[in-house]
Chain A
Amino acid sequence: MKRIAIVVIASLAPLARAHDFWIEPSTFRPAVGQMVSTSLRVGQEFIGEPIPRSAQFIDSFVVREGTKEKEVIGFENRDPAGYIRVEQPGLAVIGYRSKANPLELDAAKFEEFLKNEGLESISAIRAQRHETAKPDRERFYRFAKSVLNTGATANWQPATQSFNYRFEIIPETNPCAGTPLRVRLMFEGKPLAGALVTALHRDDASARIRIRSDKNGRVTLNLPKNGVWLIKSVQMVPAPAGTNADWESLWASLTFER
């Protein structure tokens, strides 16, 4: 009996760390004029728990169609967090930027997280400072985007526009069609080189891609199949003085269907 319990705890252990954040609309392919409910999700492996709308977290929650930008409306403390109506044919992009929020993780969980997210450089800095056993005190920021496609894919250019997020995944080709997909990682307005980018298929865990950005911050993703995809990356930087945190984590994600 004891052995079974230990096995179960061990198999659940990977959940015990910081989690991804993404936008999951009720459909990625709405008709023009259709109401789309927009769920925010926290989770791992593209399995996420819905997050009710919370003013405490939201810094900006908008939808862009071409040059037009609108607030995503919703009810506080309710899931789905927002509702939008796509008004023009083409691609529309939902963008969510959070405020900074504090998070504490114990040292072991934090080290495991750094390893999983390709942030070994931070782990190395901690080792250098003899801080490996020190619990993590961080502030985290979410930068999530989601692409809706009404079917008029000729009009895909708006999907490549930057939201000017501090950390952002920007498609450079049409995310909803054509292969390969090229995206660029921008950090504080500059291309971010050497960052781990992960692509996950919603219905096929085996179709995952892990790749580092090149010196221009670009990655080329040969997405092996159609379906709903999540592309994500996490960055970790030292927190500014006076924030009562050691690190700032920045979570960028992009969801779309192709």
Chain B
Amino acid sequence: MGIAHVRALTLALLVATPLLAHEIGTTQVTARFNRDHTYDVDVVTKSPLVRGANLSEAAEIRFGGVRVKPEVIRLPDGTIRFHGDIPRNAGPFTWRWPLTFSYYALTIGPRQQWLDGDTTSSPFPLSADLLPPSRMDVVKQYLKLGFTHIVPGGLDHILFVLGIFLLSTKLRPVLTQVTAFTIAHSITLGLTIYGLVSVSPRIVEPMIALSIAYVAIENITTSQLKPWRVAIVFAFGLLHGMGFAGVLKELGLPRSEFLTALVTFNVGVELGQLAVIATAFVLIAAWARTKPWYRPRFVVPASAAIAATGIFWTVQRLL
């Protein structure tokens, strides 16, 4: 590289530095907008002004001019992190930090903005995918996720529900079992998501498979709804709820609409189960349940097949 090149490069660098300000200090600020609709603003500084200061009061974080109250986290390396939820319909992000005397860089992704002391940054518009979804969007999305987790996604849950359905040709036993199952899985879904209950999938998943085998085997031995059957279906419901929770955790819940998502996912699961029962009823039971062959030729072989599948999965999931 010749001297002329070096000079040209140096000149370019000087021109590129928009220096109309104080000396560059030790302060560095990095803002991030996360997929879970939260923001992080990390401040690294040696400014003595931070000592004893009310940091959450000092950090002026705004979206569309509306100030938000961040949580303050001190990281082990001394970084001060401001963390919080991006508001719904958030406008452009702005930042102001009065606890420095010098010139510093605010970095957002590949972009850098130089700020002098306590001046306010220019607005940074957030892309639409970073903004929290509306409540209606969450309802639609999680209803669908819940439903598709059963149909077509959850063959094990389908078989369990069919097992419940095949017990009796009467409406009442089916309703009683479905209600017990629903209440139970709603309880553990909620408790697990909120972290109050935690059972390893290595226990839950084989138990779900076993529950399928159980209801199907009992269908072969009886067509009466025994009281213990309701209790057992309830207990299995608790297990299935933990299974749903595992899936829901993997999908993730929007922080802004946590409860909405949880409830609508559960409703979606419920609708999926009812769809299975309704389909089974319309296709077979509606016309065949009064036929003498319905139980020996359909219920017993179908239950046997379901039981075999359940036992196979139990063994498979244990290995």
Q: Which residue among B45, B49, B54 has the maximum number of chain A CB atoms within 10 Å of its CB? A: B49
Q: Count contacts on A: residues with CB < 8 A to the other chain.
A: 27
Q: Please indicate the chain B residues that have their CB under 8 angstroms from the CB of A51 in the complex.
A: 23-26, 102
A47 touches B23 (CB 8 A): no
Contact of A52 among B21, B26, B67, B118 (CB under 8 A): B26
A49 touches B100 (CB 8 A): yes
A49 in contact with B98 given A8-B57, A12-B58 (CB within 8 Å): no
Bound together, the chains give a CA A104 to CA B67 distance in angstroms of 27
Given contacts A47-B49, A49-B48, A51-B25, contact A12 B102 (CB under 8 A): no
- A:100-120 near B, CB below 8 Å: 101-104
**A57–B23 touching, CB < 8 Å:** yes
Looking at the complex, which one of A8, A48, A52, A104 makes contact with B101 (CB distance below 8 Å)?
Answer: A48
List residues of chain A with CB within 8 A of the CB of B19.
Answer: 56, 101-102
- A42: Cβ under 8 A from any B Cβ: yes
Q: Please, how many angstroms separate the alpha-carbon atoms of A15 and B101 in the complex?
A: 7
Instruction: List residues of chain B with CB within 8 A of the CB of A19.
Output: 22, 101-102, 117
User: Chain B nearest CB: distance from A10 CB in Å?
Assistant: 11
Chain B contacts with A in 240-296, Cβ cutoff 8 A: none
CB neighbours (8 Å) of A18 from chain B are 22
CA distance A20 to B98 in the complex (A): 16
User: What are the residues of chain A within 8 A of B49 when measuring CB–CB?
Assistant: 15, 47, 49
Alpha-carbon separation in the docked complex, A155 to B117 (Å): 41
Docked-complex contact A42 and B17, CB < 8 angstroms: no
Task: Determine whether B1 belongs to the interface, using a CB cutoff of 8 Å to chain A.
Answer: no
Q: A162 at the A/B interface (Cβ < 8 Å)?
A: no
Is B27 part of the contact surface with A, judged by Cβ < 8 Å? Answer: yes
Cβ of A106 to closest chain B Cβ, rounded Å: 9
Question: How far is B172's CA from A227's CA once the two chains are assembled, in angstroms?
Answer: 90
- Point out the residues of chain A lying under 8 angstroms from B67, CB to CB: 5
Q: Which residues of B contact A194 (CB under 8 A)?
A: none
Q: Say whether B20 contacts A104, CB under 8 Å.
A: yes
Query: With A47-B49, A48-B48, A79-B46 known to touch, is A103 a contact of B21 (CB < 8 Å)?
Result: yes
Q: Is the CB of B23 within 8 A of A44?
A: no
Contact B25 A42 (CB under 8 A): yes
Bound-complex Cα distance A18 to B102 (A): 10
Which residues on the A side are within 8 Å of B27 (C-beta)? 49
Neighbouring B residues of A207 by C-beta, 8 Å: none
Q: When each residue 30-73 of chain B gets 1 if its CB lies under 8 Å from chain A and 0 otherwise, what string results?
A: 00000000000000011111000010011000000001000000
* Distance of A56 Cα from B16 Cα, bound (Å): 13
Contact B118 A50 (CB under 8 A): no
| A44 in contact with B101 (CB, 8 Å) | yes
Flag if B117 contacts A56 (CB, 8 Å).
no
Q: Hey, which chain A residues are within 8 Å of B117, CB to CB?
A: 15-16, 19
Least Cβ–Cβ distance between B287 and chain A, in angstroms = 67
Asked whether, in the complex, the Cβ of B46 is within 8 Å of the Cβ of A56, the reply is no
A43 beta carbon closer than 8 Å to chain B: yes
Tell me if A54 counts as interface (CB < 8 A to partner B): yes
* A40 interface hit (Cβ, 8 Å): yes
Report the Cα distance A51→B24, complex, angstroms: 6
Among A49, A54, A79, A103, the residue within 8 A (CB) of B20 is A103
Contacts of B45 in A (CB 8 A): 49
A102 touches B20 (CB 8 A): yes
Would A54 and B101 be within 8 Å (CB), given that A12-B58, A48-B48, A49-B49 are in contact? Answer: no
Contact B118 A16 (CB under 8 A): yes
Quick one: closest A residue to B45, CB to CB?
A: A49
In the complex, what residues of B have CB within 8 A of residue A48's CB?
Answer: 48, 101
Instruction: Report Cα–Cα, A51/B17, bound state, in Å.
Output: 17
Interface string of A27-58 (1 = CB under 8 A from B): 00000000000001011100111111010110
Interface centre among B57, B67, B102 (most CB of A within 10 A): B102
Question: Which 5 A/B pairs are nearest by Cβ-Cβ distance?
Answer: A49-B47, A12-B98, A49-B25, A51-B23, A43-B101
Can you give 28 A-B contacts (C-beta < 8 A)? A8-B57, A15-B49, A15-B118, A19-B22, A21-B23, A40-B23, A42-B23, A42-B25, A43-B48, A43-B101, A47-B48, A48-B48, A48-B101, A49-B45, A49-B46, A49-B47, A49-B49, A49-B100, A54-B24, A56-B14, A57-B23, A79-B26, A101-B19, A102-B19, A103-B20, A103-B21, A103-B22, A104-B20
Since A12-B58, A15-B98, A51-B25 are in contact, a sample of 17 more A-B pairs with Cβ atoms closer than 8 Å, ordered by chain A residue number, is A5-B57, A5-B67, A12-B98, A12-B118, A15-B118, A16-B117, A19-B117, A40-B23, A47-B48, A49-B27, A54-B23, A101-B19, A101-B23, A103-B21, A103-B22, A104-B20, A104-B21
Chain A residues packing against B (C-beta within 8 Å): 4-5, 8, 12, 15-16, 18-19, 21, 40, 42-44, 47-52, 54, 56-57, 79, 101-104
